[in-house]
Chains A and B, each alone.
Chain A
Amino acid sequence: MDTVVREPFETVVYERPEALVDVSTHYCPGCTHGVAHRLVAEVIDELDIREQTILVASVGCSVFSYQYLEVDACEAAHGRAAAMATGIKRVNPDNFVFTYQGDGDLASIGLAETVHAAARGEKISIIFLNNAIYGMTGGQMAPTSLVGQITSSSPFGRDSKAAGYPLRMAEMLAGLEGTAYSVRRSLHDARHILQAKKAIKIAFEAQLMGLGFSIVELLSTCPTNWHMTPVEACDWVRDAMIPYYPLGDYKVAPELESKTGRGKSTKGGAR
């Protein structure tokens, strides 16, 4: 029930972005895919690039991301989004091309394509949702699952002796010459979501300025497969994921320094 305002003199402080299609999404309640989509749409609106944007959707829970954004889009095979985006950007260099990928798509089956796109300095942007699990297929271990994490394919908890250690993608890609911007943010509370949005904007600007490969890794939740409520899942990101995946700017091209508002790029350090 709304409170009744007797005078109509109010201003809209926030409403859903135009670049977001006005439909209900298939994402689970509390899934931060919805937040990430919203942030991407807000940034597209603010940068006014909707008409030149091409999205390369990936395979995972976000396989239908193209149904939620009002931009030209295609669906890549699992893991191949960075290669497909390369093909698009090379032949249509004036378009703004970004991929939207989960941890299985980007860091497992798509690792080679991701690393090489970054190494080549492809002028594409990647929104990388890291929720430490394979959501769509029912909760299997991901290359980003934490040691000890119980998943449907690591029922006794991830054993580092058998399955090694999770991949820190933001750091890994930051080490490549072709990477212009590689940062990690989180979506677990409002303050961090706001910081994530700023990072997405800078990543997109990196492409618009022709600087090279940009990626924003977003620590995300999967309430359903973590067997938690959405609120508990956000707490798990804060308490379990951030210690292993420190938030921070791992590579910031000099031309972007002024936009980050932090002076020299900071490395690591949870906030």
Chain B
Amino acid sequence: MAKQLLKGNIAFAEAAVRAGCEAYFGYPITPQTELLEHMSKRMVELDRVFLQAESEVAAVNMVYGAAVAGARVMTSSSSPGISLMQEGFSYMAASDVPAVIIDVMRGGPGLGNIQPAQGDYFQVTRSAGHGDFRPIVLAPATVQEAIDLTVLAFDLAERYRTLVFVLADGAIGQMMEPAKLPPMQDLAHDRPEWALTGAKGRDHNIITSINLGAQKLEAYNQHLQEKLRHIEQAGELRYEEYLLDDADLVIVAFGTASRASQTALKMLREEGFKVGMLRPITLWPFPEKELFELAKGVKGILVVEMNAGQMLHDVREAVAGRAPVAFYGRMGGAIPLPKDIVSEVKKMAEKMVAVKVEDGNGHGR
């Protein structure tokens, strides 16, 4: 298939359609409404299920319904809508049902604005609802990745019977880039055997998230934790490295912040700074081991985000003090500019000259 100029939101939607999405329930909210509108056309054309729900609360519960019925289902929203959906996410997580959620983030908190932000990181990478759980979180940085990760999301969701978020800032939803769409996949023919399809010739299936009694619920939580460990060990971690071989300063960024950082990287290299970047593509599982290893050989890490410092905490935890971790962020929908990232890296570099950093064995560097 040839490349086409595609808007991110349209790319998300069309990728989902081609990945065999059977049902879409959503609600308009900027900056992802084009996704819903594209689905309203394509899903109806293809005689699949589309419904604009009366609210995000209703939409996520329709997703829950379609998921327990065994269908390949998704929804999309933006930050305030994701907050409304959190109850539903928690219920779905506690039911071992698969679903895909696309969150096109905007400035917050509250009603905020409609500019791009990365302020939902905490909310989505930690259980995305009450209780102990973590969804798989995929973070595209380009329209092509938006397509590829959406297709991947459905497979991962069903493989592990879990929630998969595709987490993008508003800029990715709105921007247009050349990208290739995958061919159309056939819809799945059979519903999984655990799904609610009518108890014909078998015992009736019950899907519920209530487990009264501490013993029962603790056992269920252990099952969920085991599932998460299984996902981590199964090699679902994804990330990209840029010029890390000889880097002594590393930027860690995802989404649009990583695009700006990439430009900054080029600018810095031209000036002789040995800077590299590690870009997580899965925000969960998170490249903890990789960062820990990386921190051994670098003088400093700069986390660049479009929030007040959220992935920053995961980086700090992973690095475990092996290298200093600094932060540069813009909030309220502002996008970090390459020239500002360049200044921050230079500031960090100046600080590093004088500082001696001890590694785990107590040796100075």
Q: Do chains A and B touch in the complex (CB under 8 A)?
A: yes
Contact of B207 among A50, A70, A75, A85 (CB under 8 A): A75
The CA of A120 and the CA of B191, in the complex, are separated in Å by 26
The CA of A51 and the CA of B202, in the complex, are separated in Å by 9
Of A52, A54, A63, A84, most buried by chain B (CB within 10 Å of CB) is: A84
Question: What's the nearest-Cβ distance from chain B to residue A194, in Å?
Answer: 28
In the complex, whether A80 has a CB less than 8 A from a CB of chain B is: yes
Contacting pair B199 A76 (CB below 8 A):
no
Question: What's the nearest-Cβ distance from chain A to residue B216, in Å?
Answer: 13
Question: What's the nearest-Cβ distance from chain B to residue A49, in Å?
Answer: 9
Contacting pair A80 B208 (CB below 8 A):
no
Q: In the complex, how many residues of chain A place their beta carbon closer than 8 angstroms to a beta carbon of chain B?
A: 36
Binds A, one of B62-70, B108-116, B295-303: B62-70
In the complex, whether B71 has a CB less than 8 A from a CB of chain A is: yes
Contacting pair B204 A116 (CB below 8 A):
no
In the complex, whether A74 has a CB less than 8 A from a CB of chain B is: yes
The CA of A208 and the CA of B312, in the complex, are separated in Å by 55
Contact of A88 among B59, B69, B205 (CB under 8 A): B69
The CA of A250 and the CA of B23, in the complex, are separated in Å by 33
User: From A116, which residue of chain B is reached at the shortest CB distance?
Assistant: B54
The CA of A101 and the CA of B114, in the complex, are separated in Å by 38
Contacting pair B208 A66 (CB below 8 A):
yes
CB within 8 Å for A76 and B198 given contacts A87-B23, A88-B69, A91-B22: no
Contacting pair A90 B23 (CB below 8 A):
yes
Contacting pair A84 B51 (CB below 8 A):
no
Q: Mark A42-86, 1 if CB is under 8 A from B, else 0.
A: 000000001111101100000100110011111111001001111
User: From B205, which residue of chain A is reached at the shortest CB distance?
Assistant: A72
CB within 8 Å for A112 and B88 given contacts A74-B196, A90-B62, A91-B73: no
Contacting pair B61 A91 (CB below 8 A):
no
A87 / chain B contacts, CB cutoff of 8 Å: 23, 25, 61-67, 69, 73
Question: What's the nearest-Cβ distance from chain B to residue A77, in Å?
Answer: 5
B207 / chain A contacts, CB cutoff of 8 Å: 73-75
User: From A85, which residue of chain B is reached at the shortest CB distance?
Assistant: B65
In the complex, whether A266 has a CB less than 8 A from a CB of chain B is: no
The CA of A167 and the CA of B66, in the complex, are separated in Å by 30
The CA of A74 and the CA of B196, in the complex, are separated in Å by 8
B199 / chain A contacts, CB cutoff of 8 Å: 50-51, 53, 70-72
Question: What's the nearest-Cβ distance from chain A to residue B233, in Å?
Answer: 30
CB within 8 Å for A86 and B198 given contacts A66-B208, A70-B204: no
The CA of A70 and the CA of B205, in the complex, are separated in Å by 9
In the complex, whether A152 has a CB less than 8 A from a CB of chain B is: no
CB within 8 Å for A80 and B198 given contacts A71-B204, A91-B69, A92-B69: no
A73 / chain B contacts, CB cutoff of 8 Å: 196, 204-208
In the complex, whether B209 has a CB less than 8 A from a CB of chain A is: yes
Contacting pair A113 B68 (CB below 8 A):
no
A96 / chain B contacts, CB cutoff of 8 Å: 198
Of A51, A52, A83, most buried by chain B (CB within 10 Å of CB) is: A83
Contacting pair A84 B198 (CB below 8 A):
no
A56 / chain B contacts, CB cutoff of 8 Å: 65
Question: What's the nearest-Cβ distance from chain B to residue A197, in Å?
Answer: 22
B57 / chain A contacts, CB cutoff of 8 Å: 80, 83, 112-113
In the complex, whether A225 has a CB less than 8 A from a CB of chain B is: no
Q: Mark A103-143, 1 if CB is under 8 A from B, else 0.
A: 00000000011001000100000000000000000000000
CB within 8 Å for A90 and B206 given contacts A52-B198, A84-B64: no
In the complex, whether B343 has a CB less than 8 A from a CB of chain A is: no
List 19 other contacts, CB 8 Å, given A66-B208, A72-B196, A75-B209.
A63-B210, A67-B206, A71-B199, A72-B206, A74-B68, A76-B65, A80-B57, A83-B59, A83-B61, A86-B62, A87-B69, A90-B66, A92-B196, A92-B197, A95-B196, A96-B198, A112-B54, A112-B55, A113-B58
Nearest 3 A/B pairs, CB to CB: A87-B65, A87-B62, A83-B61
